[in-house]
Structure 1
Amino acid sequence: MTALREIRADHDARTIVLYQAYPPAVADAALAAGRFVSPFSFHRMTWIKPSFRWLMHRSNWAQKPGQTRVLAVRITRAGWEEALSRAVLTTAHPDELAGAEVHVQWDPERTLRGAALNQYSIQVGIGRSLIRTFAEEWVTELTDLTPQVQRIAALVRGGQPAKAQRLLPPERPYQLPAETAQRLDIR
């Protein structure tokens, strides 16, 4: 049985893959440079998500304005765990949340068609004080998944969910240190 709240991600011994959706100008500049550069904003929180299906729901399969390009953002596990060690749940007291460098919220995981499941996926907001560290030290690779996203979406719309499922990036449970897991209400 899957845990109610669990981090599921594509990861290896050194890195974890997170997903973000951007407008073409941000994605193109980042892909050309191999890292985030202007017009990526270093002055506001950026939300990273290890759940591919949740981001597909959020971006409407890369069809929402400003979210038409999907990037796989591979970062170091050390960076990921550093971010989560500084995180505060968005349900915390407003004063605690206001001073947090990283925000964490849990949202219902989604099926390929966008229906909510009875399990939750983590969304992590990297605040302004850490955004340069994220972009310049933690990110190890950027990959444009937009063509894959479009193909999966076409299969889902065409009534071929089994074929679409086979094209999803792999995701498996990611274990955090017990203290961090408990603080972030992973269960």
Structure 2
Amino acid sequence: MNAQDVRLTDDVVVLRPWTEDDLPQMVRLFDDPEIAFRTPVTAPFDTRAARTHLETLRRAQEAGDRLCLAITAAEDDLPRGEVMLSFRDDSVGYAVGPAYRGRGLAARAVRLLTTYAHEVLDRPRMHLWIEADNAGSTGVARAAGYRPGDAEPMVVEDKGRRYPLLPWVHDRPDAGLA
């Protein structure tokens, strides 16, 4: 799979590869205290951090570790966030810039990428890992058709913080998984 060929849409949201032209918008999206708190992105997130992020995601995609796409809208090509699929654990991650939250973009993006993982990549079960107090991400998970999973929480250490992430799962409709 060539990540540069992946473009997914539901006629409202368009998921497409990041480009060099997106770096200024990437800074506007990810230089946010909530994103810095909830994700492993660098803080503060400046142009240098954006360039490093783009290079890192491209290397990971070339190595076959993950697919990372900008969340844009069908009406224009402006990135509003990012959605990522990890091939190591079949998990999806996402972040939406503060100016674009509350519009259902994250749920649409997660649904699109989950469907792609099930139907194109033949992944029977997808995962989200969410902090218990993250009401926004819990809402995204439910809206995208995920349900709480029964796996043990994943403990993460990042930026001097240690916290558990709870599992959410989405089974391919024909997978027959419980």
The two structures have a TM-score, normalised by structure 2, of: 0.25
The two structures have a TM-score, normalised by structure 1, of: 0.24
